[in-house]
Structure 1
Amino acid sequence: MTLAPDHANPAETTEPAAPQPRSSAPSIGAARPRRQLPRPHDLRPLIRFKRPELHATRRRLDAALTIEDLRRIAKRRTPSAAFDYTDGAAEAETSLRRARDTFANLTFHPAILRDVSTVDTGWDVLGSRVELPFGIAPTGFTRMMQNEGERAGAAAAAAAGIPFALSTMGTTSIEDVAAAAPGGRNWFQLYMWRDRERSMALVDRAARAGYDTLLVTVDVPVAGARLRDTRNGFTIPPQLTAHTVIDAATRPAWWINLLTTEPLAFASLDRWPGTVAQLLDTMFDPTVTYDDLAWIRDQWPGKVVVKGVQTVADARHCAHLGVDAITLSNHGGRQLDRAPVPLRILPDVAREVGTDLEIHLDTGITTGADIVAAVALGARFTLVGRAYLYGLMAGGRAGVDRAIDILRTDIERTMRLLGVTALEELTPQHVALP
């Protein structure tokens, strides 16, 4: 039987294979970039050498991006007793740790798609504008931290458009602080002494020197147990012991500045030969009551702020008394350990008396974001103490300027990221406490 040729049955005709697509993968040779020697005009926009900063203080401060960076510099440059006085708190330092943890663990709730090309970080506080919602808190023994002391703080605050508060325990006189910052806004912080006439003499001096606000601190009936100071034997002036001599060997600049400038002394009282805790217990009056506060209010011609409020009930009592503001504060954790965290009680206090007086806040603030959170929860103003002193110890006046600039930058950035352009736009909805 003869088979028909293949083409005799079209249905069974084999079609030619379809052409395969050409691979799109480049050849190995094509994948290699063509190399050439670099040309100077091509490198110029890619490589820019930073001009070296020869000034040691400016170099240190330029490298500090946070308040914690300033703290590390301050610790290297300051004897242990002086640094620990700033850095420490009472007993186990639980209050300070809790305050910082509360700020660190809160949650922000940002709004998106807002025009935040410009932000305004200022508003009125106690009847006058501040350029930033914080000021420099009253701190004692400040020239012990660094010889420029309160003068540096007052001048830096004036330049930034924020208030500076001078402590009763300051180491620069009321008049010299005013002279250091002509046109600056100065507040005076008062501890009521057992000697009332002496206390009011200070108040009169502050009024004559142009201070516009009196901060009456009410949380020091006795000194807190500041154990670091006790262990260090911290005194004013500092005592030369074997420990302090050894400690000074690695920090000669601090001792040179101390010994070649005016002797350390309190601006508002005579020298004291004992420890800080002994001074506080001898000097401050544990009998002060609301009647005394009302009496002080009537003596002062300017604004009155009660500093050290820690309960809603006391906030309400201050509002009824007619003061201009209260500062929610546990004294930076330096008095009663495990006292309330000011930020935690802020919302309740704001609901209770926020329309009756201004609410200020301190304790635990280390960033501008902390300040923004406090404003969102109802604070009109905040005070920073340690952050300022870390800057002072790190670089004198320039270090204080740097601390303020770090906080300012933080505030502006945080506001933009939250989608707000003014402090008035911040509300409790922007923040959730842990």
Structure 2
Amino acid sequence: MRFPLRRLNREDVEADATGARLARTPAAQNGTPERRLYAGRKLSRARTIADLRAMAHRRLPAFAVEYLEGGSEEEATLSRNLAALASWRLLPRALVDVSRRDQSVALLGRAMPLPFAIAPTGLNGLFWRKADVLLARAAAQAGVPFAQSTMSNDAMEEVAAVPGLRHWWQLYAFGERPIRDALVARAERAGCEALVITVDAQFYGDREWEQRRFAHPGRLTMPSILESALHPHWIATTLSGGMPSFANDVGYVPKDKRGFFDSAFWIRANMDHSLDWNEAARLRALWPRKFLIKGILNANDAERAQRIGADGVVLSNHGGRQLDWTISSLDVLPEARRRVGSQFTLVVDGGMRRGTDVLKALALGANAVFLGRATLYGLAAAGESGVTRAVDIMREEIDRDLGLLGAASVKELDASFLAR
């Protein structure tokens, strides 16, 4: 199969001299009517995820924006995630009673009020102090799962203590086998609902633009350091307690590599390149609760995950940050659903920033979607309240779009609501 490359992001923006964000749109000619994303600090004025993105860009230093946004190599996979969403059009149904609309779904056997969860993302301490706890609190308030990353900056036990949280643990297989087994045992003791093993990151994607921000691994260039000093609000809300650390992993890192950047680069360099299906099956047998495999882009692999006893897979290309020029999760979703049947859990991610994005994924066969950058934009813009605003924006859009689509419930969605 061949897929066209779409280089421009859907929320394609440029900065003017004041730092505001100008959105390109077919409604404008020669700059009128003006389409300007909100980039200030008044959270209530953020109408879209794109507004939260603009707010985050204004608050963060350039190296942190690069880490948040960048993809690998040509960033073609990053482009494909958005192009795949744009390649589907909605087929609304008329004269349907949509006076009541229902977004609830069942995920891993438990009901939740919204059809998305917050994805595992690492190094969130770059965006706000206690970032993983803040993401967990917002998730608990919304009644959706939060998947905490191995590369998170807050201890899993602290996150697990968030009242009402559906806590998942995402595992990177780095170092020797006893390290991952110890992390799995800790996740079990912490009461995590699900273990999510990521299998598409045994090598670190070549994020060239990010690397240009570093003089050498673990050390930012002097221009990056000086530019960061121009962001006092970021410094006050992110570095007030000092540089973050990898609270769950630092004990496994050599003592001379335990600084924030040093430990990140050490873990990346010590991923287990021998990770295979036998090891995945061993971890499945070791873990007593729900088990997901993340980073699947092949329907054959989805079937194989089902055969080793996984409860589901996350169809993902790691947000365009690993292997470049791959397909998107939406590209493989219909075939994966056909192969694994209706009872196997399929979660998808990759560029989900609109309510219509979520509806498209559900119509193609997903049980739910992961929100990654969408909620990180909220976090980077305004901390916990920003994450809550991102969740509220997605909730409001899904509700409105369901009504416009002529569907009273997300459970009604299938491919008949879509056109290529």
Please tell me whether the aligned partners of residues 224 and 277 of structure 1 are also in contact (alpha carbons under 8 angstroms).
Answer: no
Is 1:164 paired with 2:152?
A: no
Distance of 1:108 and 1:258 partners within structure 2: 41
SS of equivalent residue, structure 1 residue 138: coil
Is 1:244 paired with 2:231?
A: no
Please report how far the alpha carbon of residue 113 of structure 1 lies from its aligned counterpart in structure 2 after TM superposition: 0.5
Which one has a bigger Cα radius of gyration?
A: 1
Distance of 1:264 and 1:280 partners within structure 2: 15
Q: Find the counterpart in structure 2 of residue 126 from structure 1.
A: 108
* Long gaps (5+) in structure 1: 1-56
Please report how far the alpha carbon of residue 354 of structure 1 lies from its aligned counterpart in structure 2 after TM superposition: 2.8
- Which range moves more in the overlay, 418-427 or 150-159? 418-427
Q: Find the counterpart in structure 1 of residue 5 from structure 2.
A: none
Letter in 1 for 2:147: A
Q: In the TM superposition, what whole-angstrom CA distance separates every residue of 1:70-120 from its partner, at most 9, and x where no partner exists?
A: 111100000111111111111111101111122123200011101111111
Q: How does 1:139-178 map to 2 (within 5 A)?
A: 139-178=121-160
Q: Find the counterpart in structure 1 of residue 246 from structure 2.
A: 266
Q: How does 1:310-389 map to 2 (within 5 A)?
A: 310-389=297-376
Is 1:83 paired with 2:70?
A: no
Q: Find the counterpart in structure 1 of residue 382 from structure 2.
A: 395
RMSD of the alignment, in Å?
A: 2.1
Please tell me whether the aligned partners of residues 110 and 417 of structure 1 are also in contact (alpha carbons under 8 angstroms).
Answer: yes
Letter in 1 for 2:176: D
Letter in 1 for 2:57: K
Letter in 2 for 1:399: G
SS of equivalent residue, structure 1 residue 387: helix
Is 1:285 paired with 2:272?
A: yes
Please tell me whether the aligned partners of residues 316 and 353 of structure 1 are also in contact (alpha carbons under 8 angstroms).
Answer: yes
Q: How does 1:30-41 map to 2 (within 5 A)?
A: none
User: Given the alignment, which residue of 178, 194, 200 partners 2:175?
Assistant: 194
Please report how far the alpha carbon of residue 59 of structure 1 lies from its aligned counterpart in structure 2 after TM superposition: 5.6
The number of residue pairs the alignment matches comes to: 376
Distance of 2:393 and 2:100 partners within structure 1: 18
Please tell me whether the aligned partners of residues 219 and 261 of structure 2 are also in contact (alpha carbons under 8 angstroms).
Answer: no
Q: Find the counterpart in structure 1 of residue 202 from structure 2.
A: 221
Q: Find the counterpart in structure 2 of residue 99 from structure 1.
A: 81
Q: Find the counterpart in structure 1 of residue 118 from structure 2.
A: 136
Please tell me whether the aligned partners of residues 213 and 220 of structure 2 are also in contact (alpha carbons under 8 angstroms).
Answer: no
Change in CA separation of 1:277 and 1:156 when aligned onto 2, cut-off 3 Å: closer
Q: Find the counterpart in structure 1 of residue 43 from structure 2.
A: 61
Is 1:256 paired with 2:243?
A: no
Please tell me whether the aligned partners of residues 234 and 275 of structure 1 are also in contact (alpha carbons under 8 angstroms).
Answer: no
TM-score, normalising length from structure 1?
Answer: 0.83
Distance of 2:67 and 2:275 partners within structure 1: 26
Letter in 2 for 1:195: E
Please report how far the alpha carbon of residue 335 of structure 1 lies from its aligned counterpart in structure 2 after TM superposition: 0.5
% identical equivalent positions: 39
Please report how far the alpha carbon of residue 151 of structure 1 lies from its aligned counterpart in structure 2 after TM superposition: 0.9
Q: Find the counterpart in structure 1 of residue 98 from structure 2.
A: 116
Distance of 1:98 and 1:259 partners within structure 2: 35
Change in CA separation of 1:329 and 1:266 when aligned onto 2, cut-off 3 Å: same
Please report how far the alpha carbon of residue 281 of structure 1 lies from its aligned counterpart in structure 2 after TM superposition: 4.0
SS of equivalent residue, structure 1 residue 175: helix
Q: Find the counterpart in structure 2 of residue 431 from structure 1.
A: 418
Distance of 2:362 and 2:235 partners within structure 1: 40
SS of equivalent residue, structure 1 residue 170: coil
- Which range moves more in the overlay, 252-261 or 289-298? 252-261
Distance of 1:59 and 1:379 partners within structure 2: 35
Please report how far the alpha carbon of residue 246 of structure 1 lies from its aligned counterpart in structure 2 after TM superposition: 2.6
Distance of 2:73 and 2:88 partners within structure 1: 26
TM-score, normalising length from structure 2?
Answer: 0.85
Change in CA separation of 1:305 and 1:155 when aligned onto 2, cut-off 3 Å: same
Please report how far the alpha carbon of residue 254 of structure 1 lies from its aligned counterpart in structure 2 after TM superposition: 1.1
Distance of 1:377 and 1:276 partners within structure 2: 40
Q: In the TM superposition, what whole-angstrom CA distance separates every residue of 1:46-80 from its partner, at most 9, and x where no partner exists?
A: xxxxxxxxxxx996211111111111110000011
Change in CA separation of 1:364 and 1:258 when aligned onto 2, cut-off 3 Å: closer
Distance of 1:234 and 1:188 partners within structure 2: 33
Distance of 2:299 and 2:165 partners within structure 1: 33
Please tell me whether the aligned partners of residues 130 and 154 of structure 2 are also in contact (alpha carbons under 8 angstroms).
Answer: no
Please tell me whether the aligned partners of residues 233 and 275 of structure 1 are also in contact (alpha carbons under 8 angstroms).
Answer: no
Distance of 1:68 and 1:219 partners within structure 2: 28
Change in CA separation of 1:245 and 1:284 when aligned onto 2, cut-off 3 Å: closer
Distance of 2:167 and 2:234 partners within structure 1: 27
Please report how far the alpha carbon of residue 255 of structure 1 lies from its aligned counterpart in structure 2 after TM superposition: 1.4
